[in-house]
DNA sequence: TAATCGTGGGC
DNA sequence: TGCCCAAGATT
């Protein structure tokens, strides 16, 4: 009972307060929605907006992206973070061309089988692009349901099957309305029922919120967060990739040496980038994956190559 | 299950 | 300033 009421109230609020996001326009196709969902994985909306427009202007259909080398996708990804997503999105485009005739598949299991598409993204596409009735559970929805329904101050660290079940029970029966309810829950979680300082004063669900009814109990223990960034391999990877991204053609390793002092850590980070398929070694230099054809460009380095360069020959 | 994987803005 | 956090996926 209260469940239906929750969705109905959230949707009424959504009618008046939804942000004007371009991927919510009615004529937006499944590919554009899929691209937005991947970009929005752990990346704020404001940073995604321009990247999404540029990406779709260049690759309006999956086949277009599939036809370009990974390096182009990595560059276009810019500074959105987690560049493996760019790689996977391109692999995703390849899979869509090979397995689905260039059309984003409609079935949940087919979507889940795509590279870089997990529990959340598959359901988001099925619901928002195709109007199917699936629970769409992201961090916002989990937090909102944990508070409003379970009366807890926060959700657990990862999405579990039980989260999908709990959210599914809140959704209206009619598929299109269910999808809209999911969007409304997400928006409420993103704008009102936020993590740090929830704005219960502005929340339409306040009167039916279990957490608020309990007096907004505090979290039990300090939720551990091993998130540090400074000095990690992640930071070094980011700095190395930034240099490669902004350079056309091979970057000599002596140049990459300038990026980070710790030899062992720098080597580890670089090896990781190669291992992930983001970067390729070319002789004594490195390029973004798929840019080996630029190896005949002059490689900036202190020592001009004498004789035929080892390892530069195309395979 | 928990760790890993970028980046930048807000407080 | 340093920490928290943002529409997760993968191993």
Residue A45 CA, nucleotide B9 C1', distance (Å): 12
- Residue A268 contacts residue A232 (beta carbons within 8 Å): no
**Residues paired with residue A288 on neighbouring β-strands, in sequence order:** A279
Give A214-250 pLDDT, tens digit per residue. Answer: 999 988 755 556 667 888 999 999 999 999 999 999 9
| Nearest nt to the A92 alpha carbon by C1' | C9
What pLDDT was estimated at residue A231?
87
Give A53-97 pLDDT, tens digit per residue. Answer: 999 999 999 999 999 999 999 999 999 999 999 999 999 999 999
- Please determine, for residue A27, whether its predicted confidence score (pLDDT) is greater than 50: yes
Give A248-270 pLDDT, tens digit per residue. Answer: 999 999 999 999 999 999 999 99
Q: Strand order in A285-288's β-sheet?
A: A251-252, A285-288, A279-282
Residues A133-160 have a mean pLDDT of 96
- Please determine, for residue A302, whether its predicted confidence score (pLDDT) is greater than 50: no
| pLDDT level of residue A44 (50, 70, 90 thresholds) | very high
Least-confidence region, from A39-43, A166-170, A217-221:
A217-221
What pLDDT was estimated at residue A25?
97
How many other CB atoms sit within 10 Å of the CB of residue A112?
15
Residue A117 CA, nucleotide C8 C1', distance (Å): 9
Contacts of A246 by beta carbon, 8 Å cutoff, 6+ apart: none
**Domain annotation for chain A: domains and CATH numbers:** 1-17+135-175+182-217 (1.10.1670.10), 30-128 (1.10.340.30), 233-294 (1.10.10.10)
Q: How far apart are CA A108 and CA A182, in angstroms?
A: 16
Question: Percentage of chain A surpassing pLDDT 90?
Answer: 85
What pLDDT was estimated at residue A190?
97
| pLDDT level of residue A17 (50, 70, 90 thresholds) | very high
| pLDDT level of residue A183 (50, 70, 90 thresholds) | very high
Which bases on strand C have an atom closer than 7 Å to a protein beta carbon? Answer: 3-10
Tokens 């590919």 belong to which residue?
A31
Q: What is the DSSP annotation of A72-87? A: HHHHHHTTSS-THHHH
CB A91 within 7 Å, strand C: no
Q: How far apart are CA A315 and CA A298, in angstroms?
A: 19
What pLDDT was estimated at residue A76?
98
| pLDDT level of residue A2 (50, 70, 90 thresholds) | low
Please tell me which residue in A16, A37, A110, A152 is annotated as part of the active site: A37
Residue A81 CA, nucleotide B9 C1', distance (Å): 14
- Please determine, for residue A120, whether its predicted confidence score (pLDDT) is greater than 80: yes
Residue A226 CA, nucleotide B3 C1', distance (Å): 9
- Mean pLDDT of all residues in chain A? 92
Residues A128-148 have a mean pLDDT of 97
Find the residue closest to C10 using CA and C1' atoms. A116
What pLDDT was estimated at residue A225?
60
Helices (H), A208-288: 210-213, 233-245, 253-257, 263-275
A152 is catalytic: no
Q: Please tell me which residue, A162 or A314, carries the higher pLDDT value.
A: A162
What pLDDT was estimated at residue A303?
39
């Amino acid at each position: 009972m209260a469940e239906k009421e929750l969705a109905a109230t959230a949707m009424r609020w959504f009618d008046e307060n939804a942000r004007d996001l371009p991927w919510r326009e009615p004529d937006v196709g499944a590919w554009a929605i899929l691209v937005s969902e991947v970009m929005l994985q752990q990346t704020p909306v404001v940073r995604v907006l321009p990247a999404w427009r540029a990406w779709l202007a260049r690759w309006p259909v999956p086949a277009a992206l599939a036809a370009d080398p990974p390096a182009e996708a990595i560059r276009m990804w810019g500074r959105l973070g987690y560049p493996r997503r760019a790689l996977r999105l391109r692999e995703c485009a390849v899979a869509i061309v090979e397995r689905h005739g260039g059309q984003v598949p409609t079935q949940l299991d087919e979507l889940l089988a795509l590279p870089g598409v997990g529990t959340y993204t598959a359901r988001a596409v099925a619901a928002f692009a195709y109007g199917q009735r699936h629970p769409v559970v992201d961090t916002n929805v989990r937090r909102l349901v944990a508070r409003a329904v379970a009366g807890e101050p926060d959700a657990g660290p990862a999405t579990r099957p039980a989260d999908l079940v709990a959210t599914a029970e809140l959704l209206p029966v009619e598929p299109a309305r269910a999808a809209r309810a999911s969007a409304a829950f997400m928006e409420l979680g993103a704008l009102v029922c936020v993590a740090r300082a929830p704005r219960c004063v502005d929340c339409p669900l306040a009167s039916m919120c279990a957490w608020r009814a309990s007096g907004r109990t505090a979290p039990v223990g300090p939720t551990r967060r091993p998130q540090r960034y400074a000095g990690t391999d992640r930071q070094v990877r980011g700095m190395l990739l930034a240099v490669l991204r902004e350079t056309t053609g091979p970057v000599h390793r002596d140049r990459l040496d300038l990026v980070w002092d710790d030899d062992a850590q720098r080597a580890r980070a670089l090896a990781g980038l190669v291992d992930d398929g983001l970067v390729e070694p070319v002789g004594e230099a490195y390029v973004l994956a798929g840019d080996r054809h630029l190896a005949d460009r002059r490689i900036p380095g202190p020592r001009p190559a004498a004789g035929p360069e080892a390892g530069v020959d195309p395979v």
